[in-house]
Amino acid sequence: VNVTWFLVLSAFLFCIGTTGVLTRRNPLVVLLSLELMLNAGNLALIAFARMWGNGDGQVFALVVMVIAACEVVIGLGLIVAIYRRRLAIDVDELSEMRG
Amino acid sequence: VFVVAYVGGQDRPLSPRHGPGMRAIALLFSGALLVEIAIAIIGSGLKALDSRGPHVPPGFGSPSAIGQLLLERFLIAFEVASFLLLIAAVGAVVLAGRRRGLEDPETLPERAGSSPMPRGEGGPSVPGEDEATRLPSGGAEGLNDPAVEEPAVT
């Protein structure tokens, strides 16, 4: 399989994630779509690492996974805090950062 | 999936409230993004894109090779990532921890199973105030020293 197909799949995944972030209102679905976008970036990184025969891209993919884990941790903490305050779980209504 | 099961929110419709206009714009934007990425891939001019890549040694991408890279060449990134994970864990505990001021005061009585009471009539209006307002009247001596009063009653 050529490297191009990996990149095409990565682009499709990234666009699906972008669509989810732009159209959905539930923050859980937004988080899932963000994960999809990050994993598309991971796929592109690993495809390029294979293309150059270099292991650096794989290490960067691991770092991106760490960042994705941090983002999910913070996002889920926010969602749990929102749920405890009985606010609407809706990203359009959660426009204030004031507690 | 687990968090969806915990938090709920399935009853809420997931479609945008602004109608199909915003949705169409979002779909258009993502389609434009796809076209842009495709142009970037095609127009990059990398000849290696149409190949299967170079022949790599057998240990390429193995856990030992990646671990060696992580601990030698990318040691600083590795340490920074570990600190980032630590900060994220602490932040999650701070965010999701049960704080006293986190809940609204109006929702506290209904969480306890009773109807919400108006303020100033003996109900717990503020979380820190319920001890003082719930004490019965006439217990001024018991308020000062309840340990002395209680053996005398029983």
- The complex's ipTM? 0.74
pLDDT at A67 over 80: yes
Asked if B7 and A70 come within 8 Å (Cβ–Cβ), the reply is no
C-alpha dihedral, A17 to B26 to A31 to A90, nearest 10°: -160
pLDDT tens sequence across B3-45: 555 555 555 555 545 667 778 888 888 889 888 888 888 887 7
Kindly report the average pLDDT of chain A as a whole number: 86
H helical segments located in A25-55: 27-52
Please name the residues between 17 and 46 in chain A that touch chain B, using a CB distance below 8 Å.
Answer: 18-19, 22-26, 28-29
User: According to the model, what pLDDT value does residue A65 have?
Assistant: 93
Structure tokens, A66: 């760490």
What pTM, to 2 d.p., does this model score?
0.65
Nearest to B66 among A2, A58, A88 (CB): A58
Residue of B14, B27, B37 to mutate, interface with A, max A Cβ within 10 Å: B37
Taking CA atoms, B55 is separated from B51, B64, B66, B154, in Å, by 11, 19, 18, 89
pLDDT at A52 over 60: yes
3-state helix, strand, coil in chain B (%, to 5): 55, 0, 45
Element (H, E) at A77: helix A56-84
Residues of B in contact with A66 (CB under 8 A): 81, 84-85
The span from the CA of A68 to the CA of A62, in Å, is 10
Confidence of residue A46 (pLDDT cuts 50, 70, 90): very high
User: According to the model, what pLDDT value does residue B98 have?
Assistant: 66
pLDDT tens sequence across B56-102: 777 787 888 888 888 888 999 899 999 999 999 888 888 777 665 55
Asked if A12 and B81 come within 8 Å (Cβ–Cβ), the reply is no
C-alpha dihedral, B11 to A36 to A10 to B22, nearest 10°: 50
Nearest to B85 among A29, A51, A70 (CB): A70
Higher pLDDT, B48 or A64: A64
What is the CA A79 to chain-centroid distance, rounded?
A: 16
Contact B71, B78 (CB under 8 A): yes
